[in-house]
Structure 1
Amino acid sequence: MKSFWDERYKAESYVYGEAPNAFFASSLSGLKPGKILLPAEGEGRNAVFAAKSGWEVHAFDWSEEGLKKGEKLADREKVHISYRLGAMEDVHYEPETFDALGLVFAHFPESDRRAYHQKLGNFLKPGGYLILEGFSKAHLRFSAVNPKAGGPKNEGMLFSLAEIQRDFTDFEWEVLEEVNDSLEEGSYHMGEAALIRAFGRKKKTNKKE
């Protein structure tokens, strides 16, 4: 899969566009800037938006080509992002480090998804925010008739509301919904899509004095 993403991101154009994901951008705009982590960040569109909005941005992806384009976009927009090359199992941060976590079309193998989500949730401070958008299992009916709608073709890599709730048990949700919407993100997210959107806050623990 790494070779697949390297080949896709080698294109001169930004294949998912240079503008941030709309749900991510609208959710982030209401938060006080702090320190944010963006896993599977690809070509850097969301990282650059966050940096321009005043956030200290940390991101990673296993595609070297994606990283190069993310850094190129950041240079063009005159912002700094701390972008690492690495796969989920190889990337580590201190627990409770980040004020926000953005998972935008970050789809993992079904066998690893819950462990990865819980690992990422541990990097978030109590009271920190999760912003997630990804394809739901119902998306297969859209991608079957329109390949440009994008998304994994393996149903196990797609999301359900129940799975998100099980993966992130220590969150209080302001938004947790499955919607049909039209995407216009570069060349590979075009057209009707079935989406899971989640915006929530990690519960604060009550520590004894």
Structure 2
Amino acid sequence: MKEFWDERYSQDQFAYGEEPNAFVKERLPLFEVGKILFPAEGEGRNSVYAAQLGWEVSAFDFSAKGKEKADELASSKNLKIDYRVCSFLEESYEREEFDVICMTFVHFDPKIKTEMHKRLDSYLKPGRHIIFEAFSKEHREINKINPEAGGPQDVDMMYSIEEIERDFSNYDIIELKKELVQLNEGFGHVGESSVIRFIGKKKE
């Protein structure tokens, strides 16, 4: 899997574009600036956007090529982000270190999905927020018709509202919905897609 992402991120073009995810671009400015973590951040489009807004940014991904592209993008805007190369379950941050955790299209192996949610939750301060967008389980049928829409091949890596409610039961739900959206993110996400969008506030 690492080889797949290194190859994808080795191309000159940014796989998902240089602009931030539309949901992140719309929602992140509504929160007070602080420390933010981007898991599986790829080529850095969202973390660089957050740095432009004044956030203190941390990010990680297991692709060294992704980090190279992220550093390149940040440098082009005279910004810096703390980007670490590590796999899930190997990342290590301080307990309750962050004000926001932001995940877009982060699809975990089903065997570690719930465990990773718990790990990420431990890094978030009580009373602070998670911003999340990922493909819904219904998206798998869309992907079969239009592979350019992107998304994992394993439907168990995708999400349902019930999964979010279960794994983030210690959060007050600010926003949680499944909807059809038009994605136009580089060459990796193109076309109608079924997504889950979630904003939650960790209970104190």
1:27–1:199 Cα contact (<8 Å) kept: no
After superposition, what is the alpha-carbon deviation per residue over 1:106-157, rounded to whole angstroms, capped at 9, x for unaligned?
1001111000011001100001110000000000111111110000010110
Distance in 2 (alpha carbons) for counterparts of 1:126 and 1:26: 23
TM-score using structure 2 length: 0.99
The residue that corresponds to 2:129 in the other structure is 129
In structure 1, the partner of 2:178 is 178
Asked if residue 88 in structure 1 is aligned to residue 91 in structure 2, the reply is no
Q: Aligned AA for 1:61? A: D
Q: How big is each residue's C-alpha offset from its partner over 1:152-195, in whole Å with a ceiling of 9 and x where there is no partner?
A: 01011000001111111111111100001110000010000000
Return 5+ residue gaps in structure 1 as ranges.
Answer: 205-209
Post-superposition offset of 1:84: 0.2
**Alpha carbons 1:35, 1:100 under 8 Å: kept:** yes
1:38-97 residue CA offsets vs partner (Å, 9 max, x unmatched) = 000000000000000010000000000000000000000111100000001111111100
CA–CA distance in 2 between the matches of 1:21 and 1:59?
15
Aligned length: 204
Match in the other structure for 2:33: 33
SS in structure 1 at match of 2:11: coil
Kindly provide the amino acid, as one letter, of the partner of residue 8 in structure 2. R
Counterparts in 2 of 1:43-82, with a 5 A limit? 43-82=43-82
Secondary structure of the 1:95 match is coil
Q: CA RMSD in A?
A: 0.6
SS in 2 for 1:132: strand
Question: Aligned partners of 2:61 and 2:161: how far apart in 1?
Answer: 25
Partner SS, residue 30 of structure 2: coil
Structure 1 stretches (4+) deviating beyond 3 angstroms? none
Question: Match for 1:160: what amino acid?
Answer: S
1:27 deviates by: 1.3
Amino acid at match of 2:67: L
Distance 1:203 1:120 in 2: 15
Percent identity for Structure 1 against Structure 2: 45
